[in-house]
Amino acid sequence: MENTDKETPRAGLVDSVLLIDADNDPHMPSDFPLSQATLVRVFLRPKATLSKALQKRLTGLPLCATIAAPQGGKNAADFVMSMHAGLLHASVPMHVPFSIVTNDKALSGIVQELQRVGRVATLWTSHPDQAEQAQASSGRRSPARSSRSRRGGRGRGRSAKAAPAEQAPATAAAPSSPAKSLEEVAAAYERMLSRAKNPPSRLKALINDIGNRTANFGYPADAILEELKCSHGLSIDERGRVSRK
């Protein structure tokens, strides 16, 4: 792979776009359906090198390029990745799905914006439980703080009053209803599946792929799978093999 960007191919040659933030999450889904028509861009800080495992996965793809940020800095690769996401969004048709691999919460805004304008976009990270672990760690520390307050005498009353205030953000952060209907999400996934050179051929791989690509729409993978069976001719045999009409 070259360390310079390649000319964006003609729109008809691309069936999906994969952007990898190798600066903080140099991985990709093990069952991602790579094909000769998958456009891949890997972003690095200056003078950084690609991991051997990721390089092995991407070797031989004609539309793959590694892009190093021209200048150093904590967010240099993030800025370049954001810019290329916008350029590619303007260059390829709206039916082409985007998958973005990053562990940077700031870059999740790219996925949200692509979804807002109607494109199928998926955020994937190799550290899905990091936020949950941080919340659990915070929860384990809370009783210690309460104990110190109780030892202070009047602190007990303050702790009791503060408890509802700490719970309030959880209520405010409740997820809104999905922007797209289940039928629309299933139809978009079916279009992507029809263009993939090597689509998932087994039930487990298909469920994982549906979950990764549609996680941001709020529907369980099983529900999308049932919609694909009912409306798009997808079937699963008794051995878990996937077929499409």
Give, for all 245 residues of the chain, the pLDDT tens digit: 444 444 445 556 899 999 998 887 888 887 888 899 999 999 988 888 888 888 888 988 999 999 988 876 666 777 888 889 999 999 999 999 999 998 888 788 889 999 999 999 998 888 765 544 444 444 444 444 444 444 444 544 454 444 454 554 544 444 445 578 888 888 888 888 888 777 888 888 888 888 888 888 888 888 888 888 888 888 888 888 888 87
Cβ-Cβ contacts under 8 Å for 243 (sequence gap 6 or more): 234, 235, 236, 237
Q: Which of 10, 16, 13 is nearest to 196 (CA)?
A: 16
Q: Rounded CA gap, 39 and 15, in Å?
A: 8
- Secondary structure of residue 100 in the 3-state scheme: strand
Q: What are the residues facing 44 on neighbouring strands?
A: 68
Taken as a whole, the chain contains a residue count of 245
CB 180, CB 217: distance < 8 Å:
yes
Gyration radius of the chain's alpha carbons: 22
Task: Write down the pTM of the prediction.
Answer: 0.50
Instruction: For residue 234, give both structure tokens.
Output: 């997808």
Ordered by start, the domain boundaries in the chain are: 11-124, 182-244
CB 9, CB 91: distance < 8 Å:
no
Q: Which of 163, 170, 140, 41 is nearest to 99 (CA)?
A: 41
